[in-house]
Amino acid sequence: MRYLTRRNLWDDVFDSFFFGADSRTDIYEDEKGITFEIEVPGFKKEDINVELRDHILTVNAVKKEESEQKNDAYHYYVKGRKNVEIRRSYRLKNDVTEEDIKVKLEDGVLKINVLKNNREIPAPKQILIE
C-alpha cells in the first residue's frame, strides 16, 4: 500500500509525552479509498484544522481548557485542566486534491475519507541529453 506514508514515526511518542494526547488512529483501505479514524474526544469542530499542503495531510486539534469558576474563598493547589494538542501528518499520493477528501466529526472521532480518483498519472518522459 504505497498510498500514504507516515511523516514521522516518533509523532505518537512525542505527542504523548509533551502534549498529553494519546489519540488512537485507525487507517484502512477499501474500494472507495483510504479512511482515517482519529479519536479526538472532547474536541469541537472549531478546535480542529485539517489541511492538505504539498501532498501532506495534516490534522491539528487544539483544546484549551479554562475554568470558568472563580472563587476567592479558597486557593488551588492543583487544578485538573490542561491544554491538549493532537497533531498527525500523513503523506498522500501526488494525485490527491482537496476535492478528494471528505471530513466528518462524529462522537469524538474525526473520520477522513480520501477517495480514490481516476485521474491519469502522466507517464515519465525521457529528457534528451545534448
Whether residue 49 is predicted with pLDDT greater than 80 in this model: the reply is: yes
> Does the pLDDT at position 17 exceed 70?
no
- Domains parsed from the chain with CATH numbers: 4-67+78-115 (2.60.40.790)
What pLDDT score does 111 carry? 97
For residue 9, the model assigns a pLDDT of: 44
Q: What are 84-94's pLDDT values in tens digits?
A: 888 999 998 87
pLDDT over threshold 60, residue 1? no
Ranges of H-type helices in the chain:
11-19
- Position 2 scores a pLDDT of 44
Identify the pLDDT of residue 81.
64
- Which residues have CB under 8 Å from 24's CB, separation 6+? 38, 39
Instruction: Name the pLDDT band for 130 (thresholds 50, 70, 90).
Output: confident
Strand-pair partners of 64: 83
Give the residue, 49 or 9, on which the prediction is more confident.
49
What stretches of the chain adopt beta strand conformation (E)? Answer: 4-6, 25-29, 33-39, 48-53, 56-64, 83-92, 101-106, 109-115
